[in-house]
Amino acid sequence: MAEHQFVLFKRTKEVETKISEFLSNIVHSGFLFALGFEIYLSKGATAEFNSVCEQVSSHEAKNDELRRNVEIGLYTQMILPDVRSDILRLLEGCDRVINAYEDNMLKLSAEQIQIPEKYRENIRSLLKPTADCADALIEAARCFFSGEVLTQHAILVSDLEHKIDLKVLELKRQIFTDKKIELAHKLQLRDMIDCIESISDRAEDITDRLQVMSAKHAL
């Protein structure tokens, strides 16, 4: 991965290094989310799946620590309070994405959800676009910190989120018109799908706010 120069930080590389690691952890967690879900769809809640769950949880815990350290570091730099506040809000928003990755893995692990074979391919089709949507948010965040234009990444987030919404709607229709599935099972599957969808929803919300912040600081 290419090194990013964060122009918002002038005095030390320590804060920008922590933010870069924070963002990279979210990208890696997206890869693990797709991998873990694929393992679950193919094999169930195996030891391999549980190992992936633990890795996602480890990244989430590490990011909580990094975010706290960044907050402390920002107060030692000559950064305007308004800029500092926006950075912290951005990191908090991005942290909600990795939280959603962890929620998905823990939900599968705890509930042992039975996914009918006929719907597995449709669920698979949600995984990569979902991770790609969150990754586009992270690239937009990197652009914000480095002073680059983030519009292209923001458009990609919006496009992917819309496509995921359409896929989710069609999948729910199929499940709820399936007379062979009990209502309780349908509701469980719906909740699982909503949990997947929450990742792209959060990515779009944060990207929208990021565009506002970028425009504000460009003035």
Q: Whole-prediction pTM value? A: 0.90
Helix (H) or strand (E) holding 5: none
* Residue 64: Cβ-neighbour burial (10 angstroms; 0-12, 13-18, 19+): middle
CB 138 within 8 A of CB 28: no
Task: Check whether 154 has a pLDDT greater than 80.
Answer: yes
The domain segmentation of the chain, as residue ranges, is 14-218
pLDDT tens per residue, range 5-48: 445 555 567 888 899 999 999 999 999 999 999 999 999 999 99
Four-way CATH pick for 14-218: 1.10.10.60, 3.40.50.920, 1.20.58.220, 1.10.4190.10: 1.20.58.220
Average pLDDT, the chain: 91
Task: Check whether 3 has a pLDDT greater than 90.
Answer: no
Count of other CB atoms within 10 angstroms of residue 26: 22
pLDDT band at 216 (very low <50, low <70, confident <90, very high): confident
Q: What is the DSSP annotation of 149-168?
A: --HHHHHHHHHHHHHHHHHH
CB 52 within 8 A of CB 28: no
pLDDT tens per residue, range 64-100: 999 999 988 888 776 667 778 888 999 999 999 999 9
pLDDT at residue number 15: 85
pLDDT at residue number 94: 94
What phi and psi, each to the nearest 5 degrees, are found at residue 50?
-60, -35
pLDDT at residue number 214: 85
Long-range pairs, 168-173, Cβ under 8 A, ≥24: 168/126, 168/193, 168/194, 168/196, 168/197, 170/122, 171/119, 171/122, 171/123, 171/126
